[in-house]
Structure formats: structure tokens, C-alpha cells
């Protein structure tokens, strides 16, 4: 059986895709930094619970790795990262809106604003056309 080349996305990469991938990559970096802070808390401070901190540490680093893969998939023009990015942004909105309403506007904006940008960009026609590859 001869290997076939994966189809390439149509035309040059749209600017909206670059912004979309960059925002998702920044979210991955923020999650990795949160994981690093948890690691520091585990090593240099006394966490409330060691088990809970270790669990959050693993989840945050795994989530950061996953978001990195999503950003890379969007950049390359695959279809599968759109759904993953959509779900993550909806979770961020679910966390960010109550923070905005609860008197923590900085934290709420830090979660909700990038999520809103990604949600708006995900459904642009240029992004949909670019992310139409299904073959890896």
C-alpha cells in the first residue's frame, strides 16, 4: 500500500487562524504557568492537601499539553481541533461570567475575553475553510 499525502488546506493561512491559534496557545501557556505555581506550592510551601494539589498539578499540565495540540492542529488546518477549542472556550465562559458578576472583574475578563475572541473566530468562513482537513 502506498502512503498518500494529506490534503493541504486551500490557499494561504488566514490571519484569523493565526490569531485563533495564538490565543489558544496563550491559554495553554497560562494553564502551564498555573501548573508551575501548583508545583511551587507543593515543593516550597505547605499546600492545603497534598493529594489535591498533585491532582490539580497533573490536570493542569495535561490540559496545557492538550491545548497546545489543539492550537497546533488549528494552525495546520485540521478539523478536529475546532470542537476541542469550542468546548474549552465554553468552559472558560462558564467560569469567567460568574467571576465578572461576583466582583472579580480582572479574573473574569482574563477568562471570558479570550474565550469570546476564540468563539467568534471559530465560526468565520475563512477559518472553516482552512480547517477542513480530516486526514492527518
Q: pLDDT per residue over 45-104, tens digit each?
A: 888 888 999 999 999 999 999 999 999 999 999 999 999 999 999 999 999 999 999 999
Query: Counting Cβ atoms within 10 Å, is residue 85 exposed (0-12), middle (13-18) or buried (19+)?
Result: buried
- Give the CA distances from residue 102 to residues 90, 110, 111, 133, in Å, rounded to whole numbers and listed in that order: 19, 14, 14, 41
Backbone φ, ψ for residue 133 (5° rounding): -75, 140
pLDDT band at 136 (very low <50, low <70, confident <90, very high): very low
DSSP category for residue 102: T
Q: Are 85 and 74 in contact (CB under 8 A)?
A: yes
Its pTM stands at 0.86
**Mean per-residue pLDDT for 19-48?**
93
Predicted local distance difference test score (pLDDT) of residue 46: 84
Amino acid at each position: 500500500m502506498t502512503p498518500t499525502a494529506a490534503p493541504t488546506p486551500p490557499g494561504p493561512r488566514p490571519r484569523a487562524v493565526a490569531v485563533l491559534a495564538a490565543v489558544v496557545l496563550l491559554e495553554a501557556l497560562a494553564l502551564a504557568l498555573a501548573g508551575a505555581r501548583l508545583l511551587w506550592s507543593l515543593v516550597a510551601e505547605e499546600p492545603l492537601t497534598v493529594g489535591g494539589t498533585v491532582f490539580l498539578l497533573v490536570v493542569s499540565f495535561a490540559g496545557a499539553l492538550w491545548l497546545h495540540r489543539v492550537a497546533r492542529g488549528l494552525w495546520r488546518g485540521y478539523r478536529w481541533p475546532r470542537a476541542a477549542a469550542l468546548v474549552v472556550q465554553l468552559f472558560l465562559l462558564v467560569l469567567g461570567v460568574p467571576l465578572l458578576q461576583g466582583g472579580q472583574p480582572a479574573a473574569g475578563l482574563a477568562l471570558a475575553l479570550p474565550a469570546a475572541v476564540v468563539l467568534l473566530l471559530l465560526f468565520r468562513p475563512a477559518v472553516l475553510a482552512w480547517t477542513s482537513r480530516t486526514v492527518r
